[in-house]
Each structure stands twice: as C-alpha cells, then as structure tokens.
C-alpha cells in the first residue's frame, strides 16, 4: 500500500517574505491536515496578519478572524463616535423636554379630561364676574357637550358652581352663541345656569356669588385649541 504523504508548506518570517512566498503559503491552506496538527499561521509582508486554523469537520485549513491593529483602532473610533452622537442626542432631547413649557396639556393647577382643561375656583363671584375671570385665562365658564363631561364637572365641583349656559332671547345658549340642544334638563327654567348635587339648575339671580368652573382646550405649541 502506498504511503500517503501530506503536503505542508511552512511560511517564512514576515521580514523575509515575498509575494511569491505568500502565494506558496496560501496554496497549502486547503491541503489535508497532518496527523496531530493544531493549526497554522502566516504573515503577509508589510501588511495585516492573516490567520488560518484547521477545521476538523472538513479536514482543511480555513481562514479565521485576525484583526489588524489598524482595523481595531478604526472600530474603536467608530464606537466612540456613535457613543458621542447618542449622548448628544439624548442630552438635546432631555433639554428640550425640560424647557418646553407646553409639555403638559393644561396650565398648572388645571385638570385634563376629554381633551379639555378644567379649573375649579372656590372664590364665590357673580355669573358675569366668573365669566370675566375665566376669560382672563383664555377660557370660559364650564362647557359640557357630553354626559361624561358633565359627570366630570360634578366630581370637581365642591358645591354649587356656575357654568357657561345662560338664557338669551328665551333660549339657553353657550357664550360663544351656540344654542343648547337640551342635552340635559335644566331645572327651574331661569336665566343663569349652575350645577349642584348632580343636577343642572338655573336661577334668576345672576348676581348671587357662587364658586365656578372654567374650561378651555388643551395647549398646543403655545396656543389654546
């Protein structure tokens, strides 16, 4: 039986290697492994080190990851740049959040419900004075276009509170001129409307001092909507 002799080419030191030496060394990478071989390596002259390791699965030498010093520094530089960009963007975003006066949908002290800001004022004033006070905050006396919003007004009104409805020319209207469509029954059928004990009531005495609730749209980009 003929004895099989595996080919093996050793790689010369980097200082004496030539392109021809490298090519010769490269040809040996796919040769069968010698018995007991643990690995092989070679250096490209004046270049980056290239490593080849034996694969016991395929019985051949295969390239492995050999990172050059230059490549490592490039990766480190890239990581540092990405880290700097991330930190800068995070700082900018946090600063914007801290300085944006409209981060919250409502002014301080107001509550937010159903895209509307509400404020309960316990000061007891007449209907007209209450409306003027709300107007000074770019708001109006409380408006409730739905049952849910009226229920919410009941929860924040600590006693009887003026709301926005008032009778004009024999019909109830909101102060913006929109007619009231009898969404809820208004007891007593008088001029100025208020809420108390989960009821919507009215009185002919609009000068009577009461607490009141102001409402306005949420803030958006410096405006009230």
Across the chain, which has 225 residues, the per-10-residue mean pLDDT values are 41 40 39 39 43 51 49 80 85 57 73 91 96 94 91 92 93 89 88 94 96 82 37
Contact criterion met (CB below 8 Å) for 87 and 169: no
Taking CA 106 as the corner, what is the angle to CA 101 and CA 108, rounded to the nearest 5 degrees? 75
For the record, the structure tokens of 173 come out as 């209207």
Q: What is the pLDDT of residue 33?
A: 36
Does domain 111-224 bear CATH number 3.10.100.10?
A: yes
Residue 94 is predicted with a pLDDT of 63
Run of H or E including 51 = strand 49-55
6's CB contacts (< 8 A; 6+ apart) are: 31, 32, 33, 34
Label the pairing between strands 199-203 and 171-173: unpaired
| Distance in angstroms (rounded) separating the CA atoms of residues 66 and 170 | 91
Q: What pLDDT is stored for residue 114 in this prediction?
A: 87
Q: Identify the pLDDT of residue 56.
A: 53
Neighbour tally for 166: CB within 10 Å? 21
Residues in a beta bridge with 129:
none
Q: What is the pLDDT at residue 143? A: 92
* pLDDT value for 108: 87
Q: Which residues are 192's β-sheet partners? A: 166, 203
Domain ranges of the chain: 14-64, 72-100, 111-224
DSSP string, 159-190: S-EEEEEEEETTEEE-TTSPBP--SS--BT--
List Cβ neighbours of 165 (8 Å cut-off, separation of 6 or more): 172, 173, 174, 180, 186, 192, 193, 200, 202
In this prediction, residue 186 carries a pLDDT of 92
* Helix or strand (DSSP H, E) at 194: strand 192-196
The predicted structure's pLDDT at residue 9: 41
Query: Count of CB atoms within 10 A of residue 165's CB?
Result: 25
């Amino acid at each position: 039986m003929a004895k099989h002799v595996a080919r093996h080419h050793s790689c010369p030191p980097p200082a004496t290697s030539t392109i021809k030496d490298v090519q010769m060394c490269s040809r040996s990478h796919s040769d069968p492994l010698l018995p007991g071989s643990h690995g092989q390596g070679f250096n490209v002259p004046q270049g980056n080190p290239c490593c080849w390791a034996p694969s016991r699965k395929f019985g051949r030498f295969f390239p492995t990851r050999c990172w050059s010093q230059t490549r490592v520094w490039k990766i480190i530089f890239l990581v540092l740049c990405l880290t700097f960009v991330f930190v800068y963007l995070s700082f900018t975003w946090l600063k914007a959040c801290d300085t944006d006066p409209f981060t919250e949908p409502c002014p301080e002290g107001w509550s937010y419900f159903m895209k509307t800001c509400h404020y309960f004022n316990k000061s007891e004033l007449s209907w007209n004075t209450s409306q003027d006070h709300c107007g000074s905050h770019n708001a109006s006396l409380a408006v409730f276009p739905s049952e849910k919003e009226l229920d919410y007004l009941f929860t924040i009104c600590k006693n009887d509170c003026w709301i926005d409805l008032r009778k004009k020319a024999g019909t109830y209207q909101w102060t913006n001129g929109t007619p009231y469509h009898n969404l809820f029954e208004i007891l007593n059928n008088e001029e100025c409307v208020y809420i108390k004990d989960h009821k919507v009531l009215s009185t002919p005495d609009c000068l009577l001092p009461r607490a009141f609730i102001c409402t306005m749209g949420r803030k958006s980009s410096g405006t009230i909507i």
